[in-house]
Structures are given as C-alpha cells and as structure tokens.
Structure 1
C-alpha cells in the first residue's frame, strides 16, 4: 500500500514538474497575429504612398500611429490593472486586428487611412504589455527571463514570416487584397487565444518587474518598444538624465530615418516587393542577434554596446547619402542600410534595457522604464514629423544627414557611463607646491 502511495505521489510530482517546464500554450496564439501585423506593417506605408501621400503625410501617419499606440498602452494597461482582467483585453486587441485591417482595405483616401490606422493603433496597444503581465502570472518568477525571451522569439519570427508572405504576394495581389488576406490570417489566433488563455485575476505591481536583457522584440507598428511599465509618477533621476537625453537624440533620429526610408526608395524606383525584401532582411538579422547580444552583456558594459549600436545606425543612414550613378547602387546602399538597421537595433534595444536595470534600484526601475518609454515615444513622434517636413519641404538627403548626425550625437551624453577616463598629459608632470 505504501509503495502504491509513494508511486502515485512520485508520478504526480513528475507531472507537475513537466507542467512547470512547459511554456503556456497561448504563446502560439500570437503566431497568426504576428504574421498579420508583420505583413501589414509594410503594406500601410506603401498603400499610403499609392494613395498619393508624400514625405510629410507619411511622417504624419507614423507620428499619429505612435502617439495613439502610446496612449492606448497606458489606457488599456491601467484599465486591466483596475479590473484585474487580462484575457478580455488581449482578445479585444486580437479581434480588432482583423476588424481594422478589413477597414483599411476600404480606405479611399490618405486621410481615411490616417484616421483608421490611428484608431487601429489605439486598440492594438492592448496586445503590447498586457500579454507580458499575464505571462508573469502563468510562469514561475525564476523563469520569467526565459519566458519573455521565448514569447517574443515566437512573435519575432512570426513577424518575419508575415513579411515573407507579403514579399511573395505583393506583385500578385493589390494592397486592398493584402489587407483582407492578413485580416483572415489573424482569425485563427483569436480562436486559439479564446480557448487557451486562462484568466489570472491577480494584481502584479509593475514597478516590481525588472527589465529583461534576454527579451526578443520585433519592431512592431512604429512603437519604439513594448511597454510593461506605465508612466504614473515620472521621476528623472540625475544618474539617468544623460541616458534619457541620449535616447531622445536617437529616437528623433530613428523617426526621421525609418519613416522616410520607404518613401525615399519608392520615389527612386524601388518596387514594393523590394521594400518587403529589405524589411525581411532587417527583421531577420535583429531576431537572430537579440539573445546573442543579451548573453554578451553579462560580461560587457551595456553603455559600450549601446554606443556600438548608435554608431552602426549612423553608418547605415550614411549609406543612403552615397551617389547613385553606378547601376544598382541604390539597391546595394539600401540593402546595406537595412542590414545595419537590424544589426544596430539588436544592440540598442537590449543594451538600453540592461542599462536601466543596472543603474536603478528595484524600487526605481518601474519609474525609470516609464520615463524612458515616454522619452522614446516623444522622440519618435517628433522625428517622424520633422523628417516629413524636411524631406517634403527641403530634401531627403538633408533629412538623412540630420538623422545620421543625431544618431552619432546620441553617444555624447553616455560617454560618462562607458567607464572611460580621459587623463590629461599634464597630470603626470610633477607638481610644485607653494610654501605658505
């Protein structure tokens, strides 16, 4: 009898161990969703250009989308915390994707597209931070790093798959048909989430959630990064002021560069399919490097890695300023720019999160991340508007020159964080003391 009890207890314990080692099944509900949002992320600006939008209008499209995403993330995050419900908001965000992608297909003018896309971004924001909070409830705290990395890795490669589908079909289908296709592709994700997500109505204080160095984040829908921490009380710590200034320079640069790049390429004869191909190259490189960079940072100063990312981003933008007299020169420069964009982003996204985690105490991390997210979003909105104005009113080359300079300028405020000391040659000379 004792043997039977011991055997049954052992079997039960083994089954619990297996359950704890498995990641939640609802992770895979986000695969169709990320395929749909990844593929449509390139269709939206391309369709705007098709509708007659210029550099200024595309800049406004990106700026308004980022602003709506940021406001939506704050609104839905606070509402989910107040109601202690996560599933309903995640399902709403997944369902809204199919609804608004269908509506985008019927946009007859740029202004229709602008308005629908802004409302879409607001509702889509419910899928940004709330799934991460639900993840913390479904996974043991000791495995949070692994779970966040796994969840975002699944989504990151699904995002690339969506871009690949768009790349293959953009010549066969119209932009409207692509919107409808991705709206349908997203539906199985909603059904899967409805069946697999289990509500966990337990409040998790976001300020106690530390930054995750091993996270894998795709560059989704113009939002600078996924936001876990909500900006409730913002405090600019003096030790992080240089980092915030550096981030502001970088995100203004990123807004001027990334939002105007498709417009610049299309105007210079690059096809929509080639733009999709460049986006695949960019996202694939980032996805492959995220966790490798996170591993490197365990023994490396994150400020040095951040500087490396800024430098290569500046170099990638500079490639667009090369003369295009040689055949295929623009395609080669654009490919190089997208490659360095993906390479630099893996260093910037991971090292900036690591830097905040190392420079702030556990009690300060929530406030520090909230401030960083607002700075990033504000910088991107400002850069999108500025890039649209400069490119439309003056010149695209000047826009990229300013963007490259700002990315390089972002290094200056964080020089003190690199652990480098500049010793004057005169400090080694013997000093003569005065006699009083």
Structure 2
C-alpha cells in the first residue's frame, strides 16, 4: 500500500513538472501585438506634428496618454482581480489596438487625435500587468524569473521589429496608411491568444509579486511599465524616500527629454524615417543589454548601476547642447543621444527593480514597487507638461539644459544608499521538497 501511494505521488510530481517544462504558447501572441504597438509608437507624435501640433501640444499629448494609461492599469487590473478573468481583458487590449489605430488614421485635427489617443492608452493598459498575473498562474513558482524574462524578451525584440518595419514603410506610406497597416498586423495576436490562452482561477495577491531581477522592461510609449497596481494607501517608508525622490527627478527629466526630442529633430529638418531609425537604435541597444546588466548586478551594488544609468542619460541629453559648427554634427549628436538613451535605460530599469527588492522585506516588496510606479508616472506626466511648455515658450536649448540638470540631480539622493545592501537571495524562500517515506 505504501509503495502504491509513493508511486502515485511520484506520478503527480512528474506530471506537474512536465506540464510546466515549457513556457506557455500564449507568449507568442504578443509578437504581432508588440510589432503593432512598437511601430505605431513613433507614428503618433509624428502624425501630430503633421496635423500642426507644436512642442506644447506634443507634451500635452504624451502627458494625457500617460495619465489615461495609469488610470487604465488600475481600473482593468482591479476589475480582473474581482472577476478572476485574465483572457477576456488581454483579448480586449489586443482588440483595442486594431480599433484605435484605425480610428487614429481617420482623425482630421490634433484635438481629435489627442482624444482618441487617450482612449487608446486607457484600453491598452489592460495588456500591461494582467499578462504577468496570468504568467504566474501558468508557470511554476520556481521558474517565475525565467518565465518573465522570456516573456519580456519576446516582447522587447518584437517591439524592435515593429520599429524596423516603421523605418522601412514610412518612406513609402503616409502616416494614415502606416496606422492602418499596424492595425492589420495586430490581428493575428487576437487569433493566437484566443486559441492558446487557458483561463484559470488566480488566487494571487499582488502584494506577493516580487521584483524579478532579470526581467526585461519594455518602455511601451516611453511610459513607466506597471508590474502591479497602485497602492491603496500611500505610505512611504523613510528608507525609500531617497530612492523615490531620485526616481521622481529622473522621470521629470525623462518626460522633458523624450517627448521633445522627436519634435526638436523634425523642426531641424530631419525626416520621419531618420527619427524612426534613431528610435530603432535606442530600443535595440536596450534589448541587447538587459540580460547582461542583470548578470552584472550579481557581483555589484545596484546603486552604482543606477547612478551609472542616470549619469549616462545626463551626458546623452547634454550632447544636444553642443555647438553645431561641423556639417551634419546634429545628426551625429542626436544619434549618440539616442544611443545613450538606450544604454542608460537598460541600467536604470533593471537596477531600480533590483534595488527595490534588496531594500525591502517580502512584506514590503509589493507596496514598494507599487509606490515606485506611482512616483514614476507622476514624474513623467509632470515632465511632459513642463517640457512642452518650456520648449514652446522659451526654446529647446533651455528645455534640454533643464532636463540634463534634473537628470544629474537624480544622482544626489542615491549617495546615502551607497552602503552595503542585502543580497536578493536573502529574501528568497526555500523550495519545499516532497519527502519520500520508506
């Protein structure tokens, strides 16, 4: 009898391991989705410029998009938790891409574009954190880091492919036609997701979601990416204040810089294809460095890596302030600025998540990451508005100079954190083993 029970337990264990030995097939539904959203991410601001928008309007466009995305992430996430449904909301997010990209191709003025784009961002937010929760249900806990790493790696390189397609097609198609093309390319995502996603009840508290060091963070539309929802109560522990203040400065600088750089280039005679090419370079560098940076963090403090990222971003912004006496110097400087943007983002994204994990206990990690997302989004929205106002009223030089100063200021609150931090392995729970009775 005892041997029969042992054999049954072993059979269940083997079945469980084999069912989770491969990553879920629905990961691949995000390939056409990320191709569509990645390619269209550059079309929308360029289309707004064609419709007569200036620097101030572009800042407003981006800040409203970020605000709508923040609200949507909270709304759809809480609703999916209440209904314990994930597939429905992922399909809705995929469907919204084709619908709203088609609607954006039909707008006739900037104010119609800004309204449709805000609605688009709100519905698109259902594809941000909900897939991560579904992943945690479909992948064994011992392989969460591997699963999230592969999932975001697929999305990251698909995003690069979308930018590459945009870089090629923008030479031959108008912006309206580009938006319709990406809306059409997104359709296979719906079909694959419908066939491969298997709904299952998820009894997972978001406070239990831990930061994953080797996670590839894709900066969809250059907004802070959400892993969990905003905290119900904003309680900032004193040990996190310096980190949050630093992050707030960085995202203000990022909003001032990233939203106005394409506008600056177009105003200085660059073509849409050249802007696409620089964005492609930026995202490719980030995608190449994510996992390498994650491996480096095993042997060095993430504070130094985060400071390195902030300092690299400061240099990248400052390059735009150099004199333009040499022919084609602006092309060289802006290309270098985009390259440092991608380089710095790989260090900032991974090291910030790692730093939050090392500074917090398991009970604090969920709230710490949620509060960080709230701080990041607030800084980006504020920076986008400030950048648009300064660039339109005073000039791009003042805007970029201010952004570089604020980016450098983000380093200062990190200096008190230079002491030794506990290893991430300190917070890992031991994996239970099945004991065999003889």
Give the number of aligned pairs. Answer: 415
**Does 1:131 pair with 2:131?**
yes
> Which structure has the larger Rg over C-alpha atoms?
1
**Does 1:416 pair with 2:426?**
no
1:185 shift after superposition: 0.2
- Report the TM-score when normalising by structure 1: 0.93
* Structure 1 alignment gaps of length 5 or more: 1-5, 421-436
Q: 1:335 aligns to what SS in structure 2?
A: helix
Q: 2:107 aligns to what SS in structure 1?
A: coil
1:52 shift after superposition: 0.7
* 1:76-115 correspondence runs (5 A): 76-115=76-115
The answer as to whether partners of 1:59 and 1:384 remain within 8 angstroms in 2 is yes
The answer as to whether partners of 1:312 and 1:340 remain within 8 angstroms in 2 is yes
The answer as to whether partners of 2:132 and 2:227 remain within 8 angstroms in 1 is no
Q: Match of 1:162?
A: 162
Deviations 1:199-221 (A, max 9, x none): 11122101011101101112102
C-alpha distance in structure 1 between counterparts of 2:301 and 2:263, whole Å: 37
C-alpha distance in structure 2 between counterparts of 1:111 and 1:170, whole Å: 23
1:347 shift after superposition: 0.4
Deviations 1:374-430 (A, max 9, x none): 10000000000000000000010110000001111000011011129xxxxxxxxxx
The alignment yields a C-alpha RMSD, in angstroms, of 1.7
Deviations 1:280-311 (A, max 9, x none): 10000000111111111112111110000000
1:13 shift after superposition: 7.3
Deviates more, 1:322-331 or 1:189-198: 322-331
C-alpha distance in structure 2 between counterparts of 1:168 and 1:19, whole Å: 41
Spell out structure 1 runs of 4+ moving beyond 6 A. Answer: 6-15
The answer as to whether partners of 1:320 and 1:400 remain within 8 angstroms in 2 is yes
Q: Match of 1:325?
A: 325
Q: Match of 2:389?
A: 389
The answer as to whether partners of 2:20 and 2:138 remain within 8 angstroms in 1 is no
Q: Match of 1:403?
A: 403
Q: Match of 1:302?
A: 302
Q: Match of 2:427?
A: none
1:251 shift after superposition: 0.3
Q: Match of 1:219?
A: 219
**Does 1:75 pair with 2:37?**
no
Deviates more, 1:291-300 or 1:379-388: 291-300
C-alpha distance in structure 1 between counterparts of 2:10 and 2:81, whole Å: 38
C-alpha distance in structure 2 between counterparts of 1:202 and 1:252, whole Å: 36
* Structure 2 alignment gaps of length 5 or more: 1-5, 421-438
**Does 1:359 pair with 2:343?**
no
Q: 1:221 aligns to what SS in structure 2?
A: helix
Deviations 1:61-96 (A, max 9, x none): 000000000010000000001111111001000000
Q: 2:363 aligns to what SS in structure 1?
A: helix
The answer as to whether partners of 2:64 and 2:118 remain within 8 angstroms in 1 is yes
Residues 368, 13 of structure 1: CA spacing in aligned structure 2 closer, same or farther, 3 A cutoff? closer
Q: Match of 2:245?
A: 245
Q: Match of 2:208?
A: 208
Q: 2:323 aligns to what SS in structure 1?
A: coil
Q: 1:241 aligns to what SS in structure 2?
A: helix
The answer as to whether partners of 2:230 and 2:374 remain within 8 angstroms in 1 is no
C-alpha distance in structure 2 between counterparts of 1:289 and 1:222, whole Å: 17
1:234 shift after superposition: 1.9
Q: Match of 2:235?
A: 235
Q: Match of 2:64?
A: 64
